[in-house]
Amino acid sequence: MLTGWRYRIVSAAGVVGVTTLSVLVANHPTVQKQFTTYVPLFNRLEVDTLSGGMLLWAIALCSVVMVGCLLPLYKPRPRRVLDTVFLAQKRVVTGGLAIAAFGFFKMSHRLPRATLVMVVGLLSVAIPAWFVRMRRRPANDSGRTLLVGDDPDQIEQISAQLAGPVLGYLCPTSALSSQFVAEGDSTAIEAVPDGGSVSEDGLILEYDEFTDLDRLGGLSRIEDVLVEYDVDTVVLAFRRADRAEFFGSLDACYEHGVDVKVHQEYTDSVLISDDQIGELVTVDLEPWDPIDHLFKRGFDVLFSLTALVALAPVIALIAVAIKLDSSGPVLYKQERTAVFGESFQVYKFRSMVQNAESETGAKISDEDAGGVDPRVTRVGKILRKTHLDEIPQLWAILASDMSVVGPRPERPELDSEIQSDGVDWSKRWFVKPGLTGLAQVNDITGHEAESKLRYDLEYVRRQSFRFDLKIVIRQIWKVLSDIREFVASR
């Protein structure tokens, strides 16, 4: 696979070639007549000898604009197919608008409308395909590998197992403190992140190299190194796979489209394909199939928009009821945990008294365990029983912070509390959180953390667009049943 400047040069050259071909095809009379009346380039110029020059001018204009608009794609990241396609298409549309704007200010050299529309349409398909092809590695290409971790012994062992080219490793200075030796009297070591170390006496310390690989810095440099060295694969070598540093490294690799491998002892802590064996296994950072992922996002947008419009009268009635029932705002927001432990703001209809957690702090409601929570208002009880308090989360789905189906997001404080109780809660972080999930349709709440985790992991491993639809249908039926039961009880 091409890297560095060779990748950038070939990418730009490919854009020029694809753009030239698109302009020629779009201006061909046979093609244009299939969609509209043939309008040759700059046909208002009556001098035939200029027609060839005008065609070259059109090709040059489109090529320069497209090459400029696609600058973010000349670095080989991210490599995820859908991200590449969507980013390329956005840039092509931007380029088309720029070409149209140029024609507005210089009417004598503007492209005919039909030609411009066809060029943008062709490039919207051809350029994403070109970059997807550019970023695909050959099957026998082991790529450029980077070791990342906080365990020098494991880094040394794994580095000996890697057959392909290894760029180096990232490791905190504090983790290497045992490898440092002082010239003279050895004293306590003060670790300096991503730099050197000095003793209390100011002596310069040198560390005993435990591997032939170059140390490229500490963990905080992972994103810089991924970009600078065009890394293809990262191998993680951490003492524990449930630490924030481990998931932080996974998150960086996910954002930059870099493959991740871990030692087989971590297979229970991360998602891997069922058929993988060996000392090192690949982490499934994007467990969704690209086509299913596309359908899932389309369904999320359609579902949230339709629901927000259809429920507009209900939203207005709920807002009035909350204001009449108790003092305080209609909505309240909370921080919730998202993919790889990141957080986002989620809104819900207020179902508790104002400042309900000022004394008790964040905790799972007693209602989840079948008890009575005195903090819940009269209207709040109805909203919770009928699940109507969740309606504002449709906006989070539309904003792509959540999905319709996925593990329910918890408060960061509760996540930490559950994790400290020995439940490996972090495994849920490999997919976007959802409005409903497999645990919810099976009546499992946060009070049953281990059972909830099992259902969430089952969803993560079985997820597909068809499976999502089954869960949505079950949840809608459950909501309607709860509403019918509530009305009957009144």
- pLDDT, tens digit, for every residue of 189-219? 344 344 444 444 443 344 445 567 888 888 8
- pLDDT of 446 reads 63
Pairwise pLDDT comparison (135 vs 17), residue with the higher score: 17
- pLDDT of 412 reads 67
- pLDDT, tens digit, for every residue of 50-84? 445 677 878 888 899 999 998 888 775 555 677 78
**Is residue 422 pLDDT above 50, yes or no?**
no
Which pLDDT band holds residue 8 (cuts at 50, 70, 90)?
confident
DSSP 446: T
| Residue 41 and residue 111 in contact, taking contact as beta carbons nearer than 8 Å | yes
Residue by residue, DSSP assigns 138-200 as: PTT----EEEEES-HHHHHHHHHH--S-EEEEE--TGGGGGGEEESSS---EEE-TTS-EEET
Q: What tokens appear for 457 in the block?
A: 């992991």
- pLDDT of 472 reads 92
Task: Pick the most confident of 44-53, 206-215, 339-348, 380-389.
Answer: 380-389
* Coil, helix or strand at residue 391: coil
Residue with tokens 């070259």: 56
Average pLDDT over every residue of 137-153: 74
- pLDDT of 71 reads 85
- pLDDT, tens digit, for every residue of 426-467? 555 667 888 898 888 888 876 677 777 778 878 877 778 889
